[in-house]
């Protein structure tokens, strides 16, 4: 069992953090302040393996860091977490570079020839960024069997093979079948999965419900 | 049965044009010149319903225009086709804004807050642009049953409901089940399907084979 930092107190952080605790891991939820209301609610509703702290305290605590902040705030949150607390650790980057400031639908503030995953890797070269789970609603991330018996795909990008293997084990513990975990290669391939977000949003606009995903048919 | 212009002599134009002829339509393949070798080969291998001409001749002939040119050349090809030959007609835009000039993987020369589909609609405001079929290899476009009994998705964007309904009938004649044809709304939603291309390319890089597509699982 691992000590894990979950950065971000939104629905994604709460869902992923609670699932990790259910699986037996210890989770510190990190936010800007010591006494973030949502982080305290997360601690209250989970067992004693849940705790809360600042971004820096959580990152220092965690052997693995889950970035569940909003894409716009991710680099700042990770900087507040502190490079020394991230070095030689895996950052599981679930965030998407969605810019809601110009109205709906959101655009991407980085895309095409760059990605948020790459920006995080560049900002923290001694960390091992693994981009994954960013192509679906958080309810599906931690419970793929919610739809189609779990038979649909999750993608993965990152420069470090060992780090990806370790995260693959966590995905399997979430219920993902190995055959449905698609490793695209290095962190540059995060462009592919981040640029899928507009299609995700279009499908969501039709479905009016986040409980969907895509499956590669061949 | 319709008179259809297929602009572009590449594999997409050849595959789509041949299928339309097989279904009983008459197809003129348009290119820069009268005597394009690939267009003449297309005529030779198909029945008497196949013909070839310049972009302008094909567009004048066609009641519906299929844009099967490469994305980089689409606007120029359509300009050569001539606005008067496109006005009040449906342009089925299958092209993607792929820019191969900066190496592999290609980036998109328009994306995020704009799309090739929108650019074409803006350039020819009296035409009815329907973006569709651009999210898959052409072998699947015209023969969806090649994989999974045809049970996977094709997307559609366009401002004109009647035009989309007419193209939906053509898609159904290709073998697409109505339930698998997803209409996202107006032409701005072409951003979603064009931005899926990097993910398509990543999947293709894993599969080494174009005979795949995605299905929405819910």
Per-residue pLDDT tens for B128-161? 999 999 999 999 999 999 999 999 999 999 999 9
Helix B37-45 / helix B11-22 crossing angle, nearest 10 deg = 30
Minimal Cβ distance to A198: which of B191, B209, B211: B191
Specify the DSSP element, H or E, that contains B14: helix B11-22
Contact assessment for residue B108 and residue A108, using Cβ atoms and an 8 Å cutoff: no
Q: Which two tokens stand for residue B60?
A: 């004048």
Subunit contact A218:B107, Cβ cutoff 8 A: no
Nearest to A65 by CA among A179, A166, A175: A166
- Contact list in B for residue A180 (CB cut-off 8 A) is none
Partner residues linked to A181 by β-bridges: A154
CB within 8 Å: A198 and B195: yes
What is the tens place of the pLDDT at every residue in A101-128? Answer: 988 889 999 999 999 999 999 999 999 9
- What is the model's pLDDT at position B104? 86
CATH for A3-207 (2.60.40.1080, 3.40.50.300, 3.20.190.10, 3.40.50.720)? 3.40.50.720
Q: Tokens 């991230």 sit at which residue?
A: A86
Decide if A192 and B198 are in contact by the 8 Å CB cutoff. Answer: yes
Are B112 and A112 within 8 A, CB to CB? Answer: yes
Which of A107, A202, A217 minimises the CB distance to B113?
A107
Domain boundaries, chain A: 3-207
Taking contacts as CB-CB distances below 8 angstroms, the residues of chain B near A202 are: 155, 184-185, 189, 192-193
pLDDT value, residue B67:
98
Q: How far apart (Å, rounded) are the C-alpha atoms in residues B142 and B155?
A: 14
Q: Do A203 and B182 touch (CB under 8 A)?
A: yes
Reply yes or no on whether the pLDDT at B55 is more than 90.
Answer: yes
> Which positions in chain A touch B108 (Cβ < 8 Å)?
112
**A25 alpha carbon, distance to own chain's centre:** 16
pLDDT at res. A102: 86
* Residue B201: closest C-alpha in chain A: A192
Indicate whether this complex's ipTM tops 0.90: yes
The confidence score (pLDDT) of residue B126 equals: 98
Which residues in chain B are contacts of A212 at CB distance < 8 A?
Answer: 216-218
Cα B89-B93-B99 angle, rounded to 5 deg:
145
**Could you tell me how many CB contacts below 8 A there are between chain A and chain B?**
103
Does B218 contact A207 at a Cβ distance shorter than 8 Å? Answer: yes
In B, which residues are within 8 Å of A201 by CB distance?
Answer: 192
Mean pLDDT score of chain A, rounded to an integer?
97
Cα(B3)–Cα(B26) distance, rounded to whole angstroms?
Answer: 5
Look at residue B65 in the predicted model and tell me its pLDDT: 98
Write down the pLDDT at residue A104. Answer: 86
Helix (H, G, I), strand (E, B) or coil at B24: coil
Q: How many CA atoms lie within 13 A of A110 on its CB side?
A: 18
What per-residue confidence (pLDDT) applies to B103? 86
- Judged on CB neighbours under 10 Å (0-12, 13-18, 19+), A102 is exposed
Mean pLDDT for the stretch of residues B191-215: 97
pLDDT by residue for chain A (218 residues), tens only, comes to: 999 999 999 999 999 999 999 999 999 999 999 899 999 999 999 999 999 999 999 999 999 999 999 999 999 999 999 999 999 999 999 999 999 998 888 999 999 999 999 999 999 999 999 999 999 999 999 999 999 999 999 999 999 999 999 999 999 999 999 999 999 999 999 999 999 999 999 999 999 999 999 999 99
Predicted local confidence at residue B160, as pLDDT: 98
pLDDT at B102 over 90: no
What does the pLDDT read at residue A46?
97
Helix axes A37-45, A11-22, angle to 10 degrees: 30
**Interval B13-30 mean pLDDT:** 98
The distance of B140 to chain A (nearest Cα, Å) reads: 10
Place of tokens 């400031």: A101
Beta carbons of A217 and B218 less than 8 Å apart: no
In this prediction, residue A6 carries a pLDDT of 98
pLDDT, chain B, mean: 97
Q: DSSP class of residue B63? A: S
Residues of B in contact with A198 (CB under 8 A): 112, 191-192, 195
Task: Name chain A contacts of B196, Cβ cutoff 8 Å.
Answer: 195-196, 199
Among the partner residues A195, A203, A214, nearest to B195 by beta-carbon distance: A195
């Amino acid at each position: 069992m691992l000590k894990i930092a979950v950065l971000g107190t939104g629905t994604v952080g709460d869902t992923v953090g609670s699932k990790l605790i259910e699986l037996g891991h210890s989770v510190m939820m990190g936010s800007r302040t010591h006494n973030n209301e949502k982080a305290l609610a997360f601690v209250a509703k989970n067992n004693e393996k849940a705790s809360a702290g600042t971004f820096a305290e959580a990152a220092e605590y965690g052997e693995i860091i889950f970035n569940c902040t909003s894409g716009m705030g991710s680099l700042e949150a990770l900087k507040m977490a502190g490079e020394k607390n991230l070095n030689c650790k895996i950052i599981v980057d679930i965030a998407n570079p969605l810019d809601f400031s110009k109205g709906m639908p959101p655009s991407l503030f980085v895309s095409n020839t760059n990605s948020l995953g790459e920006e995080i890797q560049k900002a923290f070269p001694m960390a091992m960024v693994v981009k994954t789970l960013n192509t679906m609603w958080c309810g599906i991330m931690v419970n793929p069997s919610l739809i189609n018996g779990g038979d649909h795909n999750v993608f993965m990008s990152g420069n470090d093979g060992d780090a990806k293997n370790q995260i693959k084990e966590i995905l399997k513990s979430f219920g993902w079948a190995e055959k449905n975990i698609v490793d695209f290669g290095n962190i540059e391939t995060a462009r592919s999965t981040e640029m899928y977000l507009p299609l995700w949003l279009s499908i969501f606009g039709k479905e009016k419900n986040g409980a969907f995903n895509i499956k590669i048919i061949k």
